[in-house]
Structure 1
Amino acid sequence: MFSQLSKRPWLIAVAISLLLLLWLLSGDAFRAREQVGAEQAPAEMGLSKVQVQWLQAQPMQRQHVVQGQIEAWRRVELRAQISGSVTRLDQDKGSPVTQGQRLLSLSADNRPAQVAKGEAEVRQREAEVNAAQRLRERNLISANELARLQSELAKARAELDMARISLQNTAISAPFAGIYDQRMVELGDFVQPGQSLLSLVDISQLKVSAQIAQQEVIQLKLGQPVRVELLDGRSMEGELHFIAAAADPGSRSFRIEVKVANPEGLRLAGASATLHIATGEALAHRLSPALLSLDASGRHGVKWVNDQQRVEFTPVELISVDNQGAWVSGLPPKVALITLGQGFVEPGQQVISQTVEGS
């Protein structure tokens, strides 16, 4: 082969030229790679890397979630109006009673006699007035004398009414249907006017009271449905039937009451419950509460990456929080939320973002 090339020197020249050209081209490519690497390294040098997840806003039901206290619909403490001894316990505490049913009896003492005396006094005064009116028609007595007798009759009638009321007050009756809840006296106890005797509660309906912030009360209206969640996970349906006209001076919050039907007579009064008050539909993002942060003003917000790969901080409104996550509003409809590394970057900072799988 070499003998053939030696006979053709122009082939040797061509081969050398080709090898020289390949060597020059390989050197240019190597320098080009070095130049690109040199340009990219300063651009990426010092940039923080974060992981992002793309979130799309979804329609959700806005609601206020507040803690409340379940109360009996009505509760009354019955007190003695007269002095006397407890002569009979007509009902057992804890039993259901109807309106007007006798619950407890006090001693009548001399009250029946006072009523009989008052009735006799009234009959006598009525006879005197009737006679005086006939005499007045014949001008046999003066008008002043007739007026005096009429005044005596009115006084006798008033005393009779008082005696009858005093006798009626020996019977302590239920002002409404409910549960005979507590009794503060025992058989034979002597009681004085104003002393507590027993309590009666109406749990055919319940009311759940709560305090709601002043910026949220404007979104409420009477009659709107409310879901009441009990501590054991059960739920009851109610409606908002009371909103305070003025805020509490101390907390600056407004008292609300939710009416809940209780046909089964469940003994829930005194327990705690969570109120879920729907206030309309809104677009929101669902995310982990751990991704929420605070800005210098103390506002809740989240960090995300814009199209220029810069960190943005957007304040959000916390709509609701549960064990699965938080619903927030205020973000763009589609956002690249920083899920890893948000604590090491600040708004406006250039970053390198990596989208997590499955987002």
Structure 2
Amino acid sequence: MAMPRFHTVAAFVVLAVSAAWVATGEFSSIGSAAQDNSDQAHKTEQADAPQQKLLRTVAVMQPDFIQHNRIIRVSGVTAPDKRTTLATRNAGILGELKVEKGDTVQVGDVVLVLDGAEKQSMVNTARVLLDQRQKEAENVERLVKEGITPSTQIDSARSALASARSQLEAAQADVDRLTVVAPFSGVIDKVMVEEGSWLPSGEAVAVLLQLDPVVALGEVSEREIAHVKVGSEADVRLISGEIVSGKVRHISLEATAGTRTYPIEVAIANPDNLIPAGMTAEIMIKSAAVTAVRLPRSVVTLDAAGNLGLRILNADSTVGFVPIDLIDDSPEGLVLSGIPLDAKIIVAGQDLVSEGDKVKAVPADATLISGATVKRAEQPE
């Protein structure tokens, strides 16, 4: 019998060994075990490595405190100190119009006169009658003294004299009502009639304004009304950009129902009538001076509750928050009060951190204080 060849025997041996290996299950677990061992080793290395936390860098400053007047800003409009519509007091034809638009008049100046010849004649008649009754009364008194006339005639004569005097006064008053005069000094702003026209009693003829002083009208909120006093100084910025000064002369004691704001009046000297009525104005009322700081607008931020304030650096290098009170908004920045005197204010990087965060603080230079962006660097602790 022929012996089997060597390579045939070797093939059977390899086949038997492979079958035994697969049957043990080791083949399917080699890769998984290797991966698990690798992951476990990596986790062990991370656990053994030192922990490092990255800190944000912020710029801080200690502010210079100043004494500054609280400025209460309200929108307003200019108005005349006095305004009236002049009207006729009697009916008649306009005989003489003595003013034109823009004329300046003084108190008591005649604005117009209605024709009234018949009324003047009644005055003349009443005056003649008064003279007659005066003479009659004098004659009766003389006769009574001489004993010629009984004393009872004196009462009748005096009664007639008083009646004549009343008729003259009534006739004169009727003539006076033909004339319209200025009740105060001011400027004729409108004239609504022409000479020769018939005017009934009570007809509007002209509008008279008194513009010195001119008044700035505005309304202050109920939160700020406590800071406004009669006599407080105020600046008024007109729509033209001109700023004029005045004083608060009136504060209403009752709020407007719809807005819950209090009307105020600021009187402004206007001797040349250069400031017209009806002009848009911004009223800036000055109250008592308070301790405050002036900071750029970019420094102001909000806390988690939405309150307006500043982020400060605490003694343990953590971030704190202080609410603020806005005193004034000037071109150089916001004027704020309510800041502790020893506070270190975060002026750059404040929007990148929250209360309680630990930070790395660096002194702020002039560029950062003016609002430039700070580098958002991170340093290991």
TM-score range, shorter chain: 0.7 to 0.9
CA 134–322 in structure 1, closer or farther in 2 if over 3 Å, else same:
same
Please tell me whether the aligned partners of residues 311 and 350 of structure 2 are also in contact (alpha carbons under 8 angstroms). Answer: no
Q: Does 1:159 align with 2:159?
A: no
TM-score (norm 1): 0.74
Q: What letter is aligned with 1:350? A: D
| Higher-Rg member (1/2) | 2
CA 290–191 in structure 1, closer or farther in 2 if over 3 Å, else same:
farther
Please tell me whether the aligned partners of residues 55 and 337 of structure 1 are also in contact (alpha carbons under 8 angstroms). Answer: no
CA 100–272 in structure 1, closer or farther in 2 if over 3 Å, else same:
same
Who is 1:87 aligned against?
Answer: 95
Please tell me whether the aligned partners of residues 304 and 335 of structure 1 are also in contact (alpha carbons under 8 angstroms). Answer: yes
CA 335–192 in structure 1, closer or farther in 2 if over 3 Å, else same:
farther
How far did 1:77 drift? Answer: 1.8
How far did 1:106 drift? Answer: 1.6
CA 355–85 in structure 1, closer or farther in 2 if over 3 Å, else same:
farther
Who is 2:272 aligned against?
Answer: 264
3-state secondary structure, aligned to 2:344: strand
Q: What letter is aligned with 2:112? A: L
Structure 1: 5+ residue stretches without partners: 1-33
CA 294–126 in structure 1, closer or farther in 2 if over 3 Å, else same:
farther
Query: How many residues in Structure 1 have an aligned counterpart in Structure 2?
Result: 317
Q: What letter is aligned with 1:113? A: S
Please tell me whether the aligned partners of residues 234 and 245 of structure 2 are also in contact (alpha carbons under 8 angstroms). Answer: yes
User: How far apart in 2 are the matches of 1:54 and 1:293?
Assistant: 16
User: How far apart in 2 are the matches of 1:346 and 1:175?
Assistant: 67
Who is 2:68 aligned against?
Answer: 61
CA 150–55 in structure 1, closer or farther in 2 if over 3 Å, else same:
farther
How far did 1:110 drift? Answer: 1.5
3-state secondary structure, aligned to 2:234: strand
Within a 5 Å distance, the mapping from 1:265-284 to structure 2 comes to 265-284=273-292
Q: Which moved more, 1:324-333 or 1:68-77?
A: 68-77
User: How far apart in 1 are the matches of 2:110 and 2:306?
Assistant: 61
CA 55–232 in structure 1, closer or farther in 2 if over 3 Å, else same:
farther
Who is 1:301 aligned against?
Answer: 309
Please tell me whether the aligned partners of residues 228 and 238 of structure 1 are also in contact (alpha carbons under 8 angstroms). Answer: yes
Identity of matched residues, %: 24
Who is 2:345 aligned against?
Answer: 336
Correspondence for 1:352 among 344, 349, 359: 359
Could you report, residue by residue, the CA deviation over 1:177-229 in whole angstroms, capped at 9, with x for unpaired residues?
Answer: 33221012223332222221101223343222332344544444444433222
Who is 2:50 aligned against?
Answer: 38
Please tell me whether the aligned partners of residues 214 and 247 of structure 1 are also in contact (alpha carbons under 8 angstroms). Answer: no
The root-mean-square deviation of aligned C-alpha atoms, in Å, is: 3.3
User: How far apart in 2 are the matches of 1:259 and 1:57?
Assistant: 35
User: How far apart in 2 are the matches of 1:163 and 1:55?
Assistant: 84
How far did 1:355 drift? Answer: 4.0
3-state secondary structure, aligned to 1:38: coil
Could you report, residue by residue, the CA deviation over 1:225-251 in whole angstroms, capped at 9, with x for unpaired residues?
Answer: 3322222222223233x2336133524
CA 88–288 in structure 1, closer or farther in 2 if over 3 Å, else same:
same
Please tell me whether the aligned partners of residues 52 and 338 of structure 1 are also in contact (alpha carbons under 8 angstroms). Answer: yes
CA 50–87 in structure 1, closer or farther in 2 if over 3 Å, else same:
farther
TM-score (norm 2): 0.70
Correspondence for 1:74 among 82, 91, 96: 82
Q: What letter is aligned with 2:137? A: V
Q: Does 1:51 align with 2:52?
A: no
3-state secondary structure, aligned to 1:165: helix
Could you report, residue by residue, the CA deviation over 1:257-292 in whole angstroms, capped at 9, with x for unpaired residues?
Answer: 333222333142221222333323332122344554
Q: What letter is aligned with 1:246? A: L
3-state secondary structure, aligned to 2:84: strand
Structure 2: 5+ residue stretches without partners: 1-45, 369-381
Who is 1:205 aligned against?
Answer: 213
Correspondence for 1:326 among 304, 318, 334: 334
Q: Does 1:114 align with 2:122?
A: yes
How far did 1:89 drift? Answer: 2.5
Who is 1:126 aligned against?
Answer: 134
How far did 1:318 drift? Answer: 1.0
